[in-house]
Amino acid sequence: MSKLWKTTARILPALLLTAAGSLGLQAQAQGQIPPMHEKGAVQYSCGGIGKDESTAMRAAMKDYPLSLLFAAKDGEYLADVSVDIQSSQASAQFVAGGPVCLIKLPAGSYKVTATSKDGQSHSQSVTTGKSAHSLDFRF
């Protein structure tokens, strides 16, 4: 057996394991929900950029008391929308890093105001508690 063949035979399994591990990490990263952020009693995750992440977030909407969706009137999804959630139970202000936000918050009545980058604001009221609610904001 040549020296090159012996070296290749020793290194090849390690290279294959490394490549397989890398593919596994890529598959794991696809379709995951971005990390949660916390503002007082409100926790939120905003994202939905790209098909895999959008699909994962939309599938998870049923598991959160409140979800928000931001889009232009023509249907194009929007990011960088300022969000203001207010009630006597909890409040939070943040900028949505994607068109979908999944929100955990105490049961209660809330006023949610979303403001687009060009300054358009829309407000909606919602009462959370027994089931998941979704608010759709179109600018």
Can you give the residue ranges of every domain in the chain? Answer: 1-30, 37-138
pLDDT at 84: 98
The pLDDT score that the predictor gives to residue 107 is: 95
Q: What is the mean pLDDT of each run of 10 residues along the chain (139 residues)?
A: 50 42 40 92 96 95 97 95 95 96 97 97 96 97
Predicted pLDDT at 18: 42
Pick the CATH number of 37-138 from 2.60.40.10, 2.30.110.10, 1.10.3720.10, 3.40.1190.20: 2.60.40.10
The tokens describing 49, both together, are: 């950029």
What local confidence, expressed as pLDDT, does residue 2 receive?
A: 56
Nearest to 125 by CA among 69, 85, 70: 85
Q: CA 22 from chain center: how many Å?
A: 23
What's the predicted TM-score (pTM) here?
A: 0.77
10 Å CB burial of residue 9 (0-12, 13-18, 19+) is exposed
Distance CA 51, CA 66 (A): 21
